[in-house]
Amino acid sequence: MEYRTERDSMGEVKVPTDRLWGAQTQRSLENFRIGVGLEGMPDEIIRAFGILKKAAALANRQLRPDAMSDEKLCAISAACDEVISGALADHFPLVVWQTGSGTQTNMNVNEVIANRANRLVGKALLHPNDDVNMSQSSNDTFPTAMHIAAVMVMLDRLLPALRALIATLRRLEEENADVIKCGRTHLQDATPIRFSQEISGWRASLERDAELLQASVKPLCELALGGTAVGTGLNAPDGFDTLVAEKISQLTGKPFITAENKFHALTSRDGIVFAHGAIKAAACDMMKIANDIRWLASGPRNGLAEITIPENEPGSSIMPGKVNPTQCEAVTMVAVQVMGNDTAISVAASQGNFELNVFMPVTAYNFLQSARLLADAALSFDKNCVSGIRANRVKMKKNLDKSLMTVTALNPHIGYENAARVAKKAYAESISIKEACLSLGLMTEERFNEVFRPEDMV
């Protein structure tokens, strides 16, 4: 492999000739061999950096035209567009496990943009610190990139996935409005319910989750950029924070604004914690829905078997013909991961000292993994399981007819104590509610047939 010599404030470093990064990236690559190849900085963060570096150059051109010329702006913008598109992905090798401020990744981006732009124009036009990082600090760029990436993954990926699943559940509601089945509480038989009502509970849970996710986006739209090193805005021109937020909004189509208090924006990760709490809430509901579905589909002969779900692949290497609720299992494993990530994010957000939180890369890594996994799981669950749910109407009717809790319909007519006697007698003697009630002499057959109507109990 051929190398070139790069220099930074600490001296000379050899960098592979075919790579666009510089000395600071190379030092990080050599000093932090932790999780290499497995836990690199998320692509969403790199793209967000491309957006904010382009926006910063645009703002600097307006506010500092003496330092940011048209030629520099055009060169930076062209390189940033390649970063945003993913064309330069191979030039961002750093792992999450680095400095807690994300300084090395900020410099990785600065170096790649500067070197790529210089190659595009055919001369040494740009310096990574003086030009690409103009009016910025790692301390305000990394939290800004976190917020940009978080907003985009939630609005463009997670929420659309949940809404697609919600639409499927709404369709299933309409298709099963006439199906009455046994309800269940505490894993025990309860009073009747329409299958559509059961589905509506799932649908409403996800709709509420979508509302919570949407509400949590607003704090994330506040950006730290402009606070520079400690929140004072040192070395950034007046108005840079507001203008650069406007530029980021224009580039992304999202409603970003500058954070009112930069000291808070640099040191607190409360917006990320709040938003991930909404992601966790969605994961909890997805866990519950997936568990309900696999219970209802259990069997096929010795379980509840009240619904059928698509058979996607063989379920056993030894038991021929076995098929398992694998999509449900995938959703529940994703939910477990999201819950674990929430703990990591909570601990990370509580740390840091004085003017900076220094757990930002791990926070970003876990947040983006949660949003990405849950979005993918929702789409897979929708396509490969939920959309193919079919009610086993015969089994639902059979289970409803056997249920003892339909006796609740008799409470207003014979009282709670007598209704309990009926249920216990029916269970002990394996007879129907009707037979038990008539045997006890509590009602005439004509009166029983008049008031005992499970379809009216829903």
Distance, in Å, from the CA atom of 288 to the CA atom of 283, rounded to the nearest integer, reads 9
Q: Which of 174, 167, 170, 110 is nearest to 137 (CA)?
A: 110
| 288, 282 Cβ separation under 8 angstroms | no
Question: Which run of H or E residues covers position 97?
Answer: none
The one catalytic residue among 91, 101, 137, 316: 316
Q: How many residues appear in the chain? A: 458
DSSP letter, residue 95: B
Residue 127 a catalytic site member? no
**377 burial via Cβ count (<10 Å: 0-12, 13-18, 19+):** buried
- Left (φ > 0), alpha (ψ -120 to 50) or beta: where does 335 sit? alpha
**78 burial via Cβ count (<10 Å: 0-12, 13-18, 19+):** middle
| 224, 293 Cβ separation under 8 angstroms | no
Distance, in Å, from the CA atom of 431 to the CA atom of 438, rounded to the nearest integer, reads 11
Distance, in Å, from the CA atom of 49 to the CA atom of 56, rounded to the nearest integer, reads 10
The one catalytic residue among 186, 205, 298, 350: 186
Distances, alpha carbon 229 to alpha carbons 48, 96, 214, 239, in Å: 19, 21, 31, 17
Burial 139-170 (b: 16+ CB within 10 A, else e): bbbbbbbbbbbbbbbbbebbbebbebbbebbe
Tell me the H-state helices in 261-359.
262-267, 270-296, 326-349
Residue 316 a catalytic site member? yes
- Left (φ > 0), alpha (ψ -120 to 50) or beta: where does 305 sit? left
**What residues are annotated to the active site?**
186, 316
